[in-house]
Every structure is written in C-alpha cells, then in structure tokens.
Amino acid sequence: MADAMDSAFTKYGIVGIGMMGREHLINLHHLRDQGLAVVCIADPHPPSQLLAIELAQSFGWELKVFSGHEELLKSELCDVIVVSSPNMTHHQILMDIINYPKPHHVLVEKPLCTTIADCKQVLEAAKKRSDMVVQVGLEYRYMPPVAKLIEKVKGRDFGNVKMVAIREHRFPFLVKVNNWNRFNVNTGGTLVEKCCHFFDLMRLFAGANPVCVMASGGMDVNHKDEIYDGKVPDIIDNAYVIIEFDNGCRGMLDLCMFAEGSKNEQEISVTGDIGKGEALVPEGIVRSGSRVGGREHVQTIKAEDERIKYEGLHHGSSYVEHLTFLSAIRGEGRAAIDLEDGLMAVAMGVAAQLSIQERRYVTIDEVL
C-alpha cells in the first residue's frame, strides 16, 4: 500500500468532526486499501476533536487538528475535503473552499445549504472551478435495496413511473453538539434537513423535476418540553408531503419521527403503468411484481452489495458513496450526485416547509 507521504496517495481533510464526521473517518479507514488517508480535521469543539484523534490513532493515522476550516485550507495538507459540519455553516465553508486558489475536491453532507439562495451561490461559484469535483452527500441512493430499486426503475421493469410513495417512520432527531439541530434557522427545517434524501430519490425515480408541492405537518410530540437559551425548538416531527412532477408523476412522503415501534425505518414504493416495486430498509428487501402477474407472482429478494466492507450508520451507503466519489476525483471527473441535485432536493424541502406554514400549494418556480 502507498505511504501517506506518497504523491499518489489521496489525502483527506474533514471539516466538522461530530457524529457524522467521525462516521466518514471510519468509512475512509475501511477504504484505506484504495490508497487514501485522513491527514487533518477542523472543528471548533474540543470534545469532538479529542474523539476523532483517539479514533484516528486506533487506525494508525496521525491527524493535524485545526479549530476552523480556514486554517485547514491554508495548511494545504489535503487534496479532498469532507464537509460534515452543522447545516448552517455549509454555505460559508463551501464558498471558502471553492474560492481558494488550490483546488480541493469536496464531498458535502446533505443538505447542500439551508437556503436556496445559498445553494445557488455555491453552484455558480463551482461552475468556474473545472479543476474540482463537488459531490453532495445524498447517500440513500446507495443503500442496497434502494440501489436495486433504482436499477429496476432504470431498466423499465415497472414501465412509466406514475407514483412514488416514501414512508419514513423513525426515532426523533439525535442530540447534536450545542443542540444546533433543534431549530429551523440552523437546519433549514425538518423537510430540508432530513427529507432532502427522499425528495432526491423521488426526483430520481420520477425521472423529472418537481412542479408544485402541497404539505401538512406539525410539531406534535417531540422536543416540546426542551428549552435552549430560553428558546423552545421549532422543528416539525411529522408531515405528509405531495409533489407533482413535470411528467405527470406524483410523489408522496409520509414522515413520522415518533414511530420507534416500526419494523422498517424506510418503505419506498414505486408504481408504474405495468408494475410495482418496493424497497424496505433496514430489512434490505426488494419486492417487485407486474400487473399481469398479479399478487401470486410478486418476487422478494434480499438486496446486497458485496463491495461494502463497513455497514455503519446508513447500511453501507456511506461506504459506496466514498467509493463512487473517489472514482470521480481520480478519473471520471464528475460528481455522481452534483450540486444541481443538491439544490433541487433543498428546493423541494423549502417548498414543503412553506406549504405547511402558509397552508397552500407552493410552486417550485416561486421558491427557485
């Protein structure tokens, strides 16, 4: 294996080394046979720094530690930067990386930014940097059952897709550093923060762009008794969202974040004019059938990806995400999930949040 000082070696830096940053660190450790190493991190929170240092030492990696992304950039120690800092910091960090003279390839955690204006600014700046690959961390595409369902949709197993229904029934938001994820101003709102994953999948399955959104949701159970600096959280914990696409396809999201008593966290259903497919996570099952075959001929398979060496927090999808990102920065030169994908996923979430707030249909054009 190449040495970390070898110029052929790909050197990573991680900005934001909280729970998700450490998850990236572990995934990259499991990919070390690809000739890469994490050489530096940036985070203003000393306890997070300490946890990352201990983790890296257990992998035999020595990390240079910075308190901010500017110092990490100026050090010029790395070729690739993973941005996994809190959502509201993404915009400034991305603008600084993109505008920095030395090119750094970037993998930015979802959501791209918390506002559409910020997403657009990043997108415009990145257009001027053909020497950089910028990929958005919408890694749910790579969960084995979801990837198998995507393959079947692209193979036209179900014909023309007419309806996409996604149910996420799960546990409440986890506790994060300084409880930043308890407030819309920091996250962009639950439907941006959490559900950009599902809006990205809907757009992919529909093979079209969204036209308008209608949503209903509220904060009914979680976080109501919490107070931070005298403020009560304002993030919704359940919603129904209906989206119409420009090819006539419809999508629906059913979100509940007080549903720990569920067998599957995600149930994804895609129905076309000749058949239907479903992906169940974490069961890892894909079901598919045709109208002609009917109920008796529905097939069930266990979806697996033999490339995955580490399951982690997202059923191996972060591992595959890093594999595809690495191949892009080493040759293909194009992000598998680009800034346009990131922008559209945020736009759908912003429109849904606005629809709940104003109790009306919201067009994508008006938010874009």
How do residues 133-145 score in pLDDT, each as one tens digit? 999 999 999 999 9
Report the pLDDT value the prediction gives residue 347, as an integer from 0 to 100.
98
- 289 has pLDDT over 70: yes
- pLDDT tens-digit readout, 328-341: 999 866 789 999 99
Residue 221: how many CB atoms within 10 A of its CB?
13
pTM (two decimals): 0.95
368 exposed, middle or buried (CB, 10 Å; 0-12, 13-18, 19+)? middle
Residue 123 confidence (pLDDT) above 70 = yes
Residue 111 near residue 74, CB atoms below 8 Å: no
Q: Is the pLDDT of residue 157 over 60?
A: yes
Amino acid at 33: D
Instruction: Work out whether strand 10-15 and strand 36-42 pair parallel, antiparallel, or are unpaired.
Output: parallel
Q: Which tokens is 329 given?
A: 């920065």
Q: Which of 287, 294, 298, 311 is nearest to 142 (CA)?
A: 311
Is the pLDDT confidence value at 169 over 70? yes
> So what's the pLDDT on residue 2?
42
- The pLDDT, as a whole number, for residue 1 is 37
Question: How much is the pLDDT for 333?
Answer: 64
Q: Assign 3-class secondary structure to 212-256.
A: EEEEEEECCCCCCCCCECCECCCCCCEEEEEEEECCCCEEEEEEE
Residues 213, 246: Cα–Cα separation, whole Å: 12
Expressed in angstroms, the distance from the first to the final Cα of the chain is 47
For the chain, state the CA radius of gyration.
20
Do residues 29 and 321 lie in contact, with contact meaning Cβ atoms separated by under 8 Å? no
In degrees, rounded to 5, the angle at the alpha carbon of residue 29 between the alpha carbons of residues 309 and 306 is 15
pLDDT attached to residue 7 = 60
User: How remote is the C-alpha of 65 from its chain's centroid?
Assistant: 25
Using pLDDT thresholds of 50, 70 and 90, give the confidence band for residue 65.
very high
- In angstroms, the CA 40 to CA 62 distance is 8
**For residues 162-188, average pLDDT:** 95
* pLDDT tens digits, one per residue of 189-212: 999 999 999 999 999 999 999 999
d(CA 263, CA 335): 34
% of the chain at pLDDT higher than 90: 95
- The 10s digit of each residue's pLDDT in 208-260 is 999 999 999 999 999 999 999 999 999 999 999 999 999 999 999 999 999 99
Mean pLDDT computed over 35-58: 97
Neighbouring C-beta atoms of residue 195, cutoff 10 Å: 25
Q: Quick check: 3 pLDDT over 90?
A: no
Q: Supply the pLDDT for residue 334.
A: 79
Question: Among 311, 285, 282, which Cα is nearest to 298's?
Answer: 285
Check residue 45 and give its pLDDT: 96
Distance CA 263, CA 292 (A): 30
